[in-house]
Amino acid sequence: MRRIIWITAIMMCFTIIATACGAKNPESVIKELGKVQNKMESYQAKGTMKLNTSQQPLEYKVEVWYQKDHFYRIALTNEKKDITQIVLRNDDGVFVLTPRLNKVFRFQSDWPDNQGQVYLYQTLLSSILNDESRQFASDNDAYVFDVMANYQNASLARQKIWLNKENFAPSKVEVSDTNASVMVEVTFDEFKFDPKFDKNAFDTQANLNAGAAPAPAPSTTDDGKAANPDDPNKATGTDANGEKTDGSAGAGDNGAASDPNQSGDAGKEEPKAEDTMALPSTFQEMQPTYLGDGVAWKDTQEITFGGNTGVLQRYTGTYDYTILQTQPKDVAATYIPGELVDLGFTMGQLTGDDQQTLTWTYEGNEFRLTTSSDMPLEEMVAIAQSVDGEPTK
């Protein structure tokens, strides 16, 4: 009997020692994560992103390709609408592509180095490694880190990151606001280290052609310069027929859009009724569900902007702003001298100084929110994110 007890005690000691040796402390895990970050050559990730930032949660498929040193391809797909937007970074710059609209925005930017993305592995690793107050836990097959969130949206305060214990691949991310409410969730279904990509994987034209509906292919501008650098709110390019397009919409004293065929100050002249074409039968007006505190809808009018018919909604109160909605025709790559803005479900483009315009595409529509510079970017983003409900009748 004593022998059995003695053998059992020895076995328990070996079990405890083996368990202790197999467990990793936070310091060793952090050290290994640093090595992973330094040695990483490429990766491919697939997953689902859920946004709880509006009245109705939005869900998107996310696919990320990365190749050292600065090649990125991020595809955000709304499966219900079968619409994909692609963000590319290559040797030519940063591009936001909407293949279905045959539309390209080009930026001179150091994205994503200057702003993190919740679905990028580099962002997650940096968040863990740079937060000295990080909290560490072990959960079944994953290491869980609770760290500060460092995103463009200042309302996102903290995030939990689950990394696979075997290879440190991400499995899940939850980003919370200051009230500890989960606003963004990303679940990774697949993650591969060091995949080999095709030579055209990060090519702008190849990605545009691969996802576009049958239509004349656009031609990227050679010099990459804005046609009118003094007016950063004026988008310029060429349409599928090679004709130049231009226009601007603004919120001046009366918040109205300017005539896109004239070069006066934005908001000073109402579009003429005879110049406004009828809206297409497929057009459905969409309105934000969040207007901002102390802001009310003023009116809506049909206008023609850059050769496209649309509606201009005007809002007034604490902030005066307009939202222009159009269904643009195929256009060429347009250089935008602005900055990328992460809207969660898509990437927007912010241009202008005294008067700022946030441009984004959603469900085949292009939206331009224009206001004076006293409206915080967080408010502009919140309004843009709320344009996601059922179209108004």
For residue 339, give the CATH number of its domain: 3.30.200.100
Q: Do 163 and 292 sit in the same domain of this protein? A: no
Per the domain annotation, does 219 fall within a domain? no
Same domain as 284, residue 158: no
Residues in the chain: 393
**Residue at token pair 């050559």:** 41
Domain that holds residue 354: 225-385
Based on the domain organization, do 184 and 41 belong to the same domain? yes
The tokens 């696919």 sit on which residue? 63
Are 162 and 260 contained in the same domain?
no
d(CA 375, CA 238): 32
Same domain, 257 and 310: yes
Give domain status of residue 10, yes or no: no
Considering the domain architecture, whether residues 66 and 137 belong to the same structural domain is answered as yes
- pLDDT tens by residue, the chain, 393 residues: 555 665 555 555 544 444 444 567 889 999 999 999 999 999 999 999 998 876 678 889 999 999 998 999 999 988 777 778 899 999 998 888 888 777 788 876 788 887 789 999 999 999 999 999 999 999 889 999 999 998 888 888 999 999 999 999 999 999 999 999 999 999 999 999 999 999 999 999 999 887 654 333 333 333 333 333 333 333 333 333 333 333 334 443 333 333 333 333 333 334 443 355 678 777 889 999 999 999 999 999 999 888 888 999 999 999 999 999 998 776 566 666 678 888 888 888 898 888 999 998 887 788 999 998 889 998 999 999 888 655 444
Q: 58 to each of 54, 61, 81, 121, 177, how far by Cα in Å? A: 8, 10, 12, 22, 17
- What domain count does the chain have? 2
In the numeric block, the tokens 């030579």 are attached to 199
Q: Are residues 104 and 54 in the same domain?
A: yes
Which of 193, 209, 244 finishes a domain?
A: 193
**Torsions phi, psi for 3 (to 5 deg):** -65, -40
- The pLDDT, as a whole number, for residue 79 is 77
Consecutive H or E run containing 369: strand 365-372
Which pLDDT belongs to residue 211? Answer: 64
* Rounded CA separation 218/330 (Å): 8
Same domain, 239 and 180: no
The answer as to whether 11 is a domain residue is no
The pLDDT assigned to 57 comes to 82
Token digits of residue 43 = 């990766």
* 155 and 255, same domain (yes or no): no
Q: Are residues 234 and 319 in the same domain?
A: yes
The answer to whether position 46 is within a domain reads yes
Pull the structure tokens for residue 141. 């097959």
Does one domain contain both 373 and 233?
A: yes
Please tell me the pTM assigned to this model.
0.72
Whether 198 is covered by a domain: the verdict is no
Which of 171, 193, 215 finishes a domain? 193
In the chain, the amino acid numbered 100 is R
Structure tokens at 112: 């994503």
User: Is 202 inside any structural domain?
Assistant: no
For residue 34, give the CATH number of its domain: 2.50.20.10
Type of residue at 220 = T
For residue 330, what is the DSSP state? P
Residue 204 lies in a domain: no
Tell me phi and psi for residue 29, to 5 degrees.
-65, -45
Contact by Cβ (8 Å): 348, 87: no
With respect to residue 217, please indicate whether it lies within any of the assigned structural domains.
Answer: no
Give the pLDDT confidence score for residue 372 in this predicted structure.
87
- Same domain (yes/no): 239, 176: no
